[in-house]
Amino acid sequence: MARIVTIDIRPECKAFEEEQIHVRIGSQSDTQFLQSVLDEFGAPDVVLDDGSHHHDDINVSFDYLHPRMARDGIYLAEDLNGGYWPQLGGGLRSPNNFINRCKGFVDEMHAAATLYGDEVVAETDITRTTSAIHFHDSVVVLEKTPYLNHTMMIIPPDDPGRA
């Protein structure tokens, strides 16, 4: 049986609680509140961030929850089109724009491949735990996988056996 845990800043959302649906009232950018939810319910298998749409909040939630998720969890953030709007803390090239940040996660996921390139990307938690990053219209999905050993076999360009 699935258990759904939601958080919202609006107390009236408690009206949606049912046997399998738990509502906790608090801010997605309050890490003490997030920890209290984790303490009560444990590590989530799936996170769907449909929160404030302010990219400061999205980044705080991701930074806190993603490392504490199940090892094979899925993290979804949606309504990310606001990341291009300055009034929601974003902008086209803003490092605060969660979509821009996730574009950088693609490089982090491939850090081992950069060891032989002109610029090396440092290994991060994303490198060690992320198997896929999906971009959709205003949505990013990150799939976690237990430790990935990013070992690469390099074939020199002058290798006669190269196809």
Structure token digits, residue 67: 């490392």
* pLDDT tens readout for residues 133-162: 999 999 999 999 976 666 655 554 555 555
Beta-carbon contacts of residue 119 (< 8 Å; ≥ 6 apart): none
Domain ranges (residues) in the chain: 43-144
Q: Which amino acid is at 147?
A: Y
User: Lowest mean pLDDT: which of 93-97, 111-115, 130-134?
Assistant: 111-115
Domain 43-144 belongs to what topology? Rossmann fold (3.40.50)
Q: How many CA atoms does the CB half-sphere of 101 hold within 13 Å?
A: 21
Q: Where are the beta strands (DSSP E) in 2-146?
A: 4-8, 21-25, 46-49, 74-78, 130-136, 139-144
Q: Alpha helices, DSSP H only, in the chain? A: 31-41, 55-65, 98-109, 125-129
